[in-house]
Amino acid sequence: MTSRPLRKLGFLTIGLFDEADPRRGHESTLEIIELGERLGFDSAWVRHRHLQFGISSPIAVLAAASQRTSRIELGTAVIPLGWENPLRLAEDLATVDILSGGRLNPGVSIGPPMHYEQVKDALYPDTADREDFTYTRVRRLLDFVHGKPATGFSGVEGFEVFSNRVQPHSPGLGSRMWYGGGSLRSAQWAGEQGMNFLTSSVVKAEESEDFAEIQLSHIRTFRAHHPNGDAARVSQGLVVIPTDSATPHQRAKYHEYAQKRLPRTTSPQGPARLLFSPDIVGPSAEIAERLHAHPAFREVDEVAFALPFTFDHDDYVQILTDMVTHLGPALGWHPST
């Protein structure tokens, strides 16, 4: 089987910042998104980092990005719903989608917040032991986004007018909701809900210890349970670092970064048996050859390549530029106009 021509090229950034100067890091992220639009990328995605030195409020950052761009799609990969109230999040998502002109692609996931025992008293002081962190939390969000009633009350009360559903309502947003999953169960559930599916550089080693085979099984399971079948949208998010125009210093740094992360890719990690994909570093022609040989990549036509966490702004400019000018065309993609 040959690869599908790449239809949508995107990138993902974590948006690190210095605690002493957080504005500079956030501005850097916004500048990278603006650059992505100028280069012709189809989408820009941001991660989250709660109680760390990365983007803690991706929707706020994308609201700012929506006012600095006009075409590029803006996504989250992913918002962990354990930190969120689905009704309030639905309001924020719809608001930013309206402001962006219908360009928001919210990606979400489930599970208790990281280090829950340490944060639960601050996050849910009265309900920590009763919070539902299952797929039900996603279903609540989807219902609100799709415009299902949030209350039995609506109408006029004095001078106030009330709606029984989340306002504003953005009609197309429901079709752009993504689930970030790394297991067969999540892939099946997301398909059954009619969501889009984000698959990244981390999967659970359930039926195999071969990363590409596992990711392929997730994609096929998702589509087998999705109403749209093989046409259901899947985006792959590997760490990909083209070096075509990199300086010798940059190339050395990139290869050192990948080499330090390589041991975690050789076997499943921890009780959850998480399996990581090796970072792909090198000239675009070599990267394209490796991707064309990747069983999971051959079944997708959308990607959101992840930028490394700790690089400098100039490094990201070089990597993104090479993705557009060298790697994308080698994968059958052409910039948006």
- Average pLDDT score over the chain: 97
As a whole number of angstroms, the distance between CA 196 and CA 337 comes to 25
In a domain, 20, yes or no: yes
Task: With beta carbons less than 8 A apart as the criterion, state whether 188 and 221 touch.
Answer: yes
Question: How would you class 156 by CB atoms within 10 Å of its CB: exposed for 0-12, middle for 13-18, buried for 19 or more?
Answer: exposed
Helix axes 313-322, 248-261, angle to 10 degrees: 90
In a domain, 337, yes or no: no
In a domain, 1, yes or no: no
Whether 2 shows a pLDDT value over 70: the answer reads no
Mean pLDDT of 107-128: 97
pLDDT, tens digit, 9 for 90 and up, residues 251-303: 999 999 999 999 999 999 999 999 999 999 999 999 999 999 999 999 999 99
> Positive or negative CA dihedral for 142, 147, 148, 153?
positive
As a whole number of angstroms, the distance between CA 210 and CA 278 comes to 12
Mean pLDDT of 107-130: 97
| Rounded (5°) CA angle 19-21-23 | 110
- Judged by DSSP in three states, 318 sits in helix
Domain that holds residue 268: 8-330
**173 contact partners, CB below 8 Å, separation of at least 6:** 93, 94, 97, 102, 104, 106, 145
Whether 1 shows a pLDDT value over 60: the answer reads no
In a domain, 166, yes or no: yes
Q: Which residue has the higher pLDDT, 334 or 173?
A: 173
Residue type, 32: I
Residue type, 60: A
Tokens of 127: 């309900």
Instruction: Provide the CATH number for the domain around residue 198.
Output: 3.20.20.30
pLDDT, tens digit, 9 for 90 and up, residues 155-167: 999 999 999 999 9
Backbone torsion region of residue 275, taken as left when φ is above 0, otherwise alpha when ψ lies between -120 and 50, otherwise beta? beta
In a domain, 78, yes or no: yes
As a whole number of angstroms, the distance between CA 252 and CA 207 comes to 36
- 43-46 vs 73-80, strand pairing mode: parallel
Q: Which of 121, 268, 281, 143 is nearest to 206 (CA)?
A: 268
In a domain, 312, yes or no: yes
**Structural domain count of the chain:** 1
Model confidence pTM above 0.85 = yes
In a domain, 336, yes or no: no
Which band of pLDDT confidence, cut at 50, 70 and 90, is reported for residue 114?
very high
In a domain, 239, yes or no: yes
